[in-house]
């Protein structure tokens, strides 16, 4: 015989109905609040827009604004006013340093005035004009490895200043070459390489006995100006 299903009591049914009514009431109240807030928001006056700032002209020296002025609507900056203001505010110069390098700059007043006036009615930010007047780099002292390798020695010093160490022999090997190692021919018809196309001559500065004989007792001069020597 099947077991009869449990029937909820009348008290439990009342409680469930009360809870459902409470939930429906809460949902309805939330809907009313939302509807009222939308209506109030739609009827509220719109906020007054912020006043548009006047046109500005700024002159900067490095990362600092040295002069700022407002421009009347439709008018360009007056050169005399700009010059008068910048003459007392624009620094004479500035020194920039980076690593072992130090560069001194001088600010050009007239060029800066011209640039500021060229900004015209729109204004904006204008960088002061400056030019380098001196530079100094703490470069290491590197001895030239071979007699006629001033090019690779200078390049190795430049690279070492930037923290890159490369041997002069490796740099010399990477250079393009032009012509034979020694001069070819005799007299006015003697030819050699073209230094505009590549390295000419022998890095060690020596020439072959045959090349010495072709010069009739005179030692040819390599393209870098240093005298060539003979090992004979």
Give the tens place of pLDDT for each residue, 126-173.
Answer: 999 999 999 988 888 899 998 888 889 999 998 998 889 999 999 998
Query: Residue 228 — left, alpha, or beta (φ > 0 → left; ψ -120 to 50 → alpha)?
Result: beta
**Separation of alpha carbons 34 and 59, rounded Å:** 53
Instruction: Tell me what pLDDT residue 121 has.
Output: 83
Write out pLDDT tens, residues 142-154: 999 988 888 899 9
The model's pTM: 0.45
**Separation of alpha carbons 139 and 47, rounded Å:** 64
**Separation of alpha carbons 36 and 24, rounded Å:** 18
**Separation of alpha carbons 132 and 96, rounded Å:** 10
Kindly list the domain boundaries of the chain, sorted by start residue: 55-137, 150-214
Task: Provide the token pair at 161.
Answer: 């200043």
The separation between CA 167 and the C-alpha centre of its own chain, rounded to angstroms, equals: 29
Find the helix or strand (DSSP H, E) in which 55 lies: strand 55-61
209 forms bridges with which residues in the sheet? none
């Amino acid at each position: 015989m099947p077991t009869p299903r449990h029937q909820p009591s009348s008290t439990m049914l009342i409680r469930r109905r009360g809870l459902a009514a409470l939930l429906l009431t809460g949902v309805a109240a939330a809907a009313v609040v939302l509807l009222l807030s939308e209506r109030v928001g739609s009827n509220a006056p719109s906020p007054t827009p912020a006043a548009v700032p006047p046109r500005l002209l700024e002159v900067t020296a490095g990362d600092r604004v040295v002069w700022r002025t407002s421009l009347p609507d439709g008018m360009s900056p007056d050169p005399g006013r700009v010059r008068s203001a910048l003459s007392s505010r624009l620094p004479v110069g500035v020194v920039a340093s980076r690593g072992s390098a130090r560069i001194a700059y001088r600010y050009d007043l007239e060029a800066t005035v011209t640039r500021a006036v060229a900004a015209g009615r729109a204004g904006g930010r204008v960088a002061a004009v400056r030019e380098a007047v001196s530079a100094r780099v703490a470069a290491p002292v590197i001895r030239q490895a071979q007699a006629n390798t001033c090019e690779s020695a200078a390049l190795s010093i430049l690279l070492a200043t930037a923290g890159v160490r490369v041997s002069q022999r490796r740099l010399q090997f990477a250079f393009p070459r032009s012509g034979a190692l020694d001069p070819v021919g005799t007299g006015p018809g003697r030819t050699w390489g073209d230094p505009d196309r590549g390295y000419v001559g022998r890095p060690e500065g020596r020439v072959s006995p045959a090349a010495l004989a072709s010069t009739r007792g005179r030692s040819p001069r390599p393209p870098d100006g240093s005298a060539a020597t003979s090992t004979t």
